[in-house]
Amino acid sequence: MRSIPTKRSADKASPTPASLTRRDATTGLPVVKPKRVQVKNACVNCQKACKKCDEARPCARCVKFGIQETCRDSERKERNRGLKRGAYKRKSSEVYESRLHFHKHHDSHYEKQSKHLLPPSSLKASLSQSTPTPPPPFSQSPQLAMAAEFDPRAGGLVTPILPAYHHIYITPAGPTDVDCVEDDLESRSPTPPKDDEEKDWNKLQVLSSLCSAVLGNKGKEPTQDRHFASSYPLKHPPPIPDLHQDPVSPPPFDSLLPHPFTNLYNYTYLPSYPLHHNHDLHHHPLSRLTHLDDNLFIKTHMTSLHHMSFLRRPWEVSEEGYDEATVLMNRYTEVGEDDHEEEGEDNSAIEQKDVCKREGLKVMGMNAFASGRGSGPRDEWTMGFNFS
DNA sequence: GCGATCGGACTCTCAAGGTT
DNA sequence: ACCTTGAGAGTCCGATCGCC
Ligand SMILES: [Zn+2]
Ligand SMILES: [Zn+2]
């Protein structure tokens, strides 16, 4: 809430943008500012002064100035309902651009196939087609149905429920309009990888290794491709990974070929191939599925929140399992100075802690995941990570 | 040096919108 | 039902000024 401005004489200075990257005076290296944390509700005094408040009542600032008796929560407006917002922009066009890029510039074998079987007209046709898609083999969406908040200062996990998403402001690539892509599909030139994308990729690698460590898998690579599920048809061709970055994971062959009658893409999941969300909007080349054993695999992917999921078949997560995972998560992410002396800790755990520390990786929460089937057994364990 | 002031950058929430 | 988007609402950084 903005207080009524009182006159401030000769305020002509331009405020320093907080987003501006500063440099360390001695090293010259850029100093990364930690994300500012706000209280949910500032007290009336701090709000009026535009100063930092805290959760306590009276708050520290009011105590400091001896005005504790007037320290109370400020009122918050109720949010307006019924406001029309207009159509949202879609980010899924990245997928099509990525695919186009692939067809134009990668592996000649695939290129030949796609040129032959996937002329621009059929791609356009498939983009606008609206054939119903059967449900995917499992639900892959993170729903923070049950969550525990992680607070290292409080000594680990505290039990309150997390709010819904905590958005994390990392955008892999600039959003474009689908209409625009459809209209301009052929004239588009491939775009070089962006810095942000590279950073996201690095973070994904950290997530993957952390995930392996938490599960005690010690980074074991999947030994063979297995069909996770037979396949399911997609309206659009699946996204293509960047083969420069990920040369060992060719796309599943049949996914490149639209079915001759349905014109749908039969997408077969292979563990070493990036897993994609059933939701078109979530398709992202930086998704990955890693098989650990017959019943356990890891999905790492990124939407607005970096997260990864432990998936178990059959879909049963016992309370003991949940607790166990919580303990593990704490063990691998609670990074303290003297952690390395912890008894019985293996090198892998220490490594993971170092990685977390270096990358500023913080556990945000872990959730037992409630699937689209409503209440009942949890399908998926999800860990939310926050790169601060 | 300290408190008051406040522009605007930054953060967070949550209903609308889009998709299955 | 699920899940992202993004505008609105709110927080508070940091620059400036006046006072002692
Ligand atoms: Zn306060
Ligand atoms: Zn207060």
Q: Is the CB of A302 under 7 A from strand C?
A: no
Mean pLDDT of chain A: 43
Q: Name the range with the highest mean pLDDT among A160-169, A192-201, A265-274.
A: A192-201
Q: Is the CB of A89 under 7 A from strand B?
A: no
Handedness of CA A166, A170, A173, A179 (dihedral sign): positive
The percent of residues in chain A predicted with pLDDT above 90, rounded, is: 8
Neighbours of A271 (CB within 10 A): 20
CA–C1' nearest nucleotide, residue A375 = C1
Q: Read off the tokens for A218.
A: 């010690």
Please indicate whether residue A350 or residue A131 has the higher confidence score (pLDDT): A350
- Mean pLDDT (whole number) for A221-225: 31
pLDDT at site A51: 94
Please indicate whether residue A186 or residue A309 has the higher confidence score (pLDDT): A309
CA of A14 to the centre of ligand 2 (A): 29
- Mean pLDDT (whole number) for A267-284: 31
pLDDT at site A87: 78
Can you give the C-alpha Rg of chain A in angstroms? 25
- Domain extent listing, chain A: 38-75
* Ligand number nearest to the C-alpha of A57: 2
Q: For residue A355, which amino acid is it?
A: V
pLDDT at site A350: 53
CA of A139 to C1' of C11 (A): 37
pLDDT at site A79: 81
Q: Which amino acid residue lies closest to nucleotide C6, measuring CA to C1'?
A: A88
Strand B near-CB residues (< 7 Å), A 24-43:
35-38, 40
> Residues A305-353: pLDDT tens digits?
333 333 333 223 344 444 444 454 454 444 333 333 344 444 544 554 5
Q: For residue A67, which amino acid is it?
A: I
* Ligand number nearest to the C-alpha of A65: 2
- Mean pLDDT (whole number) for A352-361: 50
Say how far apart CA A214 and CA A63 lie, in whole Å: 44
Say how far apart CA A199 and CA A220 lie, in whole Å: 24
CB A298 within 8 A of CB A310: yes
- Mean pLDDT (whole number) for A225-248: 36
- Mean pLDDT (whole number) for A133-147: 23
**Exposed, middle or buried by CB within 10 Å (0-12, 13-18, 19+), for A121?**
exposed
pLDDT at site A43: 94
CB A58 within 8 A of CB A71: yes
Q: Which amino acid residue lies closest to nucleotide B4, measuring CA to C1'?
A: A49
CA–C1' nearest nucleotide, residue A37 = B11
CA of A49 to C1' of B4 (A): 8
CA of A20 to the centre of ligand 1 (A): 27
8-state DSSP, A73: B
- Mean pLDDT (whole number) for A228-257: 38
CA of A174 to C1' of B10 (A): 21
Q: Read off the tokens for A15.
A: 């405020």
Say how far apart CA A349 and CA A361 lie, in whole Å: 15
Q: Is the CB of A50 under 7 A from strand B?
A: yes
Q: Is the CB of A153 under 7 A from strand B?
A: no
Which residues partner with A310 through β-bridges? A298, A381
ipTM of the predicted structure?
0.94
Chain B positions with any atom < 7 A from a protein CB? 3-20
DSSP A93-151: HHHHHHHHHHHHHS-HHHHHHHHHH--HHHHHHHHH-----PPPSS------SEEEEEE
CB A1 within 8 A of CB A47: yes
Domain A38-75: state its class: few secondary structures
Q: Is the CB of A119 under 7 A from strand C?
A: no
8-state DSSP, A321: H
Q: Is the CB of A279 under 7 A from strand B?
A: yes
pLDDT at site A19: 36
pLDDT at site A353: 52
Q: Read off the tokens for A256.
A: 């490149």
* Ligand number nearest to the C-alpha of A52: 1
Handedness of CA A48, A50, A54, A55 (dihedral sign): positive
What is the signed CA dihedral for A41, A47, A53, A58, rounded to 10 degrees? -80
> Residues A29-75: pLDDT tens digits?
555 667 788 999 999 999 999 999 999 999 999 999 999 999 999 98
Say how far apart CA A204 and CA A258 lie, in whole Å: 30
Which residues partner with A31 through β-bridges? A22
Picking from A15-19, A26-30, A162-166, A182-186, which range would have the lowest pLDDT averaged per residue? A162-166
Q: Read off the tokens for A157.
A: 């996990």
Q: Is the CB of A13 under 7 A from strand B?
A: no
- Mean pLDDT (whole number) for A101-123: 27
Say how far apart CA A183 and CA A130 lie, in whole Å: 18
> Residues A246-267: pLDDT tens digits?
333 333 333 444 433 334 443 3
Q: Is the CB of A45 under 7 A from strand B?
A: no
Q: Is the CB of A1 under 7 A from strand B?
A: no
CA of A26 to C1' of C16 (A): 28
CA of A13 to C1' of B3 (A): 20
pLDDT at site A49: 94
CA of A13 to the centre of ligand 2 (A): 29
What is the signed CA dihedral for A74, A80, A85, A91, rounded to 10 degrees? 40
